[in-house]
Amino acid sequence: MNIRRIIQKLPTLWNLLELQILVLVSLFLQTALILLGSRRKYKNNAIMQFVVWCFYLSADWIATIALGILSEDMRDSSKDLESKFVVMASWAPFLLAHLGGPDTITAYSLEDNELWLRHLIGLFYQCYVAVYVVYKSWKGGHLNYVTIPLIVAGMIKYGERTWSLRSGSSQNFRESIIPAPDPGPNYAKFMDDYSAKKAEGYRVSLGKVIKTAPAPPLTQSAALNNSIANASCLRDGFYFFRIFKCLFSDLILSFQDHKSSQSFFRSNSCEHAFQVVEIELGLMMSDSASDIESCKKLCAHRGDRVLNEKGRHEFDWSIEVEFDQSILLWHIATDLCYYDDESFMLQSCVRSRLFSNYMMYLLVRRPSMLPNGIGQIRFDDTCAEAKELLLERKYMKKGKEASDMILQVNTEIPPSEVKGDRSKSVLFDACRLAKSLQALETEKNWSKEEKWEMISRVWLEMLCHAASHCRGLEHARQLSRGGELLTHVWLLMAHLGITEQFQISQGHVRAKLVLD
Nearest to 447 by CA among 356, 349, 350, 352: 349
Residue 78: what pLDDT? 47
CA angle (461 as vertex; 457, 465 as ends), nearest 5: 170
Q: Which helix (H) or strand (E) holds 210?
A: strand 210-211
What integer is the mean pLDDT of 471-477? 81
> Whole-angstrom Cα distance, residue 161 to residue 436?
58
What 3-state class would DSSP assign to 499? Answer: coil
**What is the crossing angle of helices 448-469 and 347-365, to 10°?**
30
Q: How many CA atoms lie within 13 A of 115 on its CB side?
A: 11
Confidence of residue 221 (pLDDT cuts 50, 70, 90): very low
- For the chain, the structural domain boundaries read 2-175, 209-218+230-516
**Mean pLDDT for the chain?**
78
> Whole-angstrom Cα distance, residue 229 to residue 275?
12
Q: Which tens digits make up the pLDDT trace of 58-68? A: 998 998 888 88
Confidence of residue 230 (pLDDT cuts 50, 70, 90): low
Nearest to 278 by CA among 474, 465, 42: 42
What integer is the mean pLDDT of 111-137? 85
Share of the chain above pLDDT 90, in %: 17
* pLDDT exceeds cutoff 70 at 217: no
> Whole-angstrom Cα distance, residue 475 to residue 298?
20
* pLDDT exceeds cutoff 70 at 446: yes
Confidence of residue 219 (pLDDT cuts 50, 70, 90): very low
What integer is the mean pLDDT of 347-359? 91
**What is the crossing angle of helices 400-407 and 427-442, to 10°?**
90
